[in-house]
Amino acid sequence: MSETQLRRLATEPLGPNYIPSLQQTTPQILWIGCSDDNFKECTMLNILDDELLVLTNIGNMIIDGDLSCDITIEHAVVDLQVKHILVCGHYGCRIVKATARDGLKGPWLSKLNALHLAHEDINQLPVSERDRAFVELNILDQMHSLRRLPQVANAIALGRLRIHEIVYDPETEKAYRLSEGQQNP
Ligand SMILES: [Zn+2]
């Protein structure tokens, strides 16, 4: 994958009403984000606090066997029947930097290392670009894990759930939708 292709993943800035507020007190969105992203999700989306259910962990990861993750997603999709799940990572995330991964353990470390191994060509990029590319790849990898969960796959098949892959850039203070496989000229 070339640098140009990698940078094209983040092409579509989120508008102020990307997901319109329903002005209701029941959640319509499950947000899966990173523990160190330092922004307020509701402000970014311009929705009410009550419209959002938030799940965060280090690196916005969806790990097989993570009970907290499993139960939250099950509750959101089956009980609350949310209409959207947003998987949001952020540039500058320390946990996806190869140099900051040494302290990680278990499935977090093995999943990130496996992803990096599958995309070793990003090591040819300058360090800052490599780290940004890896943030994007990690978001897409978690999105793929999410789509494989039976309750999520079922809700998507029924047309009542959409998945969104989002990256936040703290330098521009804007979020972008990743467009995997839609690399415009
Ligand atoms: Zn982070």
- 143 C-alpha to center of ligand 1: Å? 16
- 26 C-alpha to center of ligand 1: Å? 27
- 67 C-alpha to center of ligand 1: Å? 20
pLDDT of residue 177 exceeding 50 = yes
- 96 C-alpha to center of ligand 1: Å? 8
DSSP readout, the chain? --HHHHHTTEEEEPPTTSS-----SS--EEEEEETT--S-HHHHHT--GGGEEEEEETTS---TT-HHHHHHHHIIIIIS--SEEEEEEETT-GGGSGGG-TT--HHHHHHHHHHHHHTGGGGGS-HHHHHHHHHHHHHHHHHHHHHHSHHHHHHHHTT--EEEEEEEETTTTEEEEE-TT----
- 19 C-alpha to center of ligand 1: Å? 23
Q: Is 93 annotated as contributing to ligand binding?
A: yes
Nearest 5°: the CA angle 79, 80, 82 is 130
How far is 15 from 24, CA to CA, in rounded Å?
Answer: 20
pTM: 0.89
At 110-157, the pLDDT tens digits run 999 999 899 999 989 998 888 899 999 999 999 999 999 999 999 999
- 64 C-alpha to center of ligand 1: Å? 20
Q: Is 36 annotated as contributing to ligand binding?
A: yes
Q: How much is the pLDDT for 8?
A: 55
Q: Which CATH number fits domain 3-8+16-168: 3.90.76.10, 3.30.70.100, 3.60.15.10, 3.40.1050.10?
A: 3.40.1050.10
pLDDT of residue 9 exceeding 60 = yes
Q: How confident is the model at residue 37 (pLDDT cuts 50, 70, 90)?
A: confident
Q: How much is the pLDDT for 98?
A: 60
What is the rounded average pLDDT for all residues in the chain? 87
